[in-house]
Amino acid sequence: INENHMHVRAKMGPGGDAALVWYIKFTTDPEGGSGSTGGGEELETIYNNLIWDEEFDQGAEPDPTSWNYEIGNGDNGWGNGEEQYYTDEYATVENGILTIDLIKENTNGFDYSSSRITTQNKFEFTYGRVEVRAKLPEGGGVWPAIWMLGAADIPWPDRGEIDIMEFNGNEPTVVSSALHFPGNSAGNAISEQTIIDNPSGEFHDYTLEWREDVILFAVDGNVYHEFQNTAKCYASRIRESVSIKTI
């Protein structure tokens, strides 16, 4: 809710279809609004000097000088109970687009396989703006994410985590962002969400602006999540590398 938008979300109660969700948007805008419906102010960035980019316009797979594959299912499905086994086969590059596929097949004892890529040990930064243009998968059970993990080799959540975008396929018009650090992690993370039009049918811009004093999250240039990054907050001290995955 803000000065000109209010979004109401209602889920089916006990005994009904738990996957059924209604969304109602109330607005003072006579046109009803369009595009990303977060309703926030336009992001005014303070970072305009490009230091790293990836346009996925070379080769048929992610550039190995920038990206790593993570293979396997990790510990307890990478801590998320994920049901797929990650390989290096399902991240492909064509016509300036990175496509990560989720395949239903038996792979090393798992019923699904996909790919998971990171910039760990290849690109790290503290403070700046990250912008990713993405079209998300659809369907119940998918949970793609674009996120950053602290570069320090210490246990989570002490190393910190900034989730630029997460998407639950069971809620097909909602995307979220989150921060995980000591005292606020997992189910107690600092999280916000926004309603977005057709995230699985159209490309949208997902942005993180990480400043020394504030962290801003935006969709299509509209800020919907703001976090005051004080000197006492772990996010003011970590260095991050970028990860992309699909579930």
Number of residues written out for the chain: 247
List helix spans (H) across the chain.
Answer: none
- Is 161 noted as a catalytic residue in this protein? yes
* Angle ∠(141,144,148) on CA atoms, nearest 5: 145
- 41, 94, 131, 166: the active-site residue: 166
Residue 49 neighbours by CB distance under 10 Å: 6
SS3 call for 100: strand
* Cis-peptide into 64, omega within 30 deg: no
Handedness of CA 117, 118, 119, 121 (dihedral sign): negative
SS3 call for 198: coil
- 3, 44, 82, 161: the active-site residue: 161
Q: What are the structure tokens assigned to 62, written together?
A: 């992610």
What letters, b where the CB count within 10 A reaches 16 and e where it falls short, cover 131-169? beebebbeeeebbbbbbbbbbeeeeebebbbbbbbbbbb
Handedness of CA 38, 39, 41, 42 (dihedral sign): positive
- Is 166 noted as a catalytic residue in this protein? yes
DSSP secondary-structure letter at 43?
A: P
CB 165 within 8 A of CB 206: yes
Q: Which residues are catalytic?
A: 161, 166
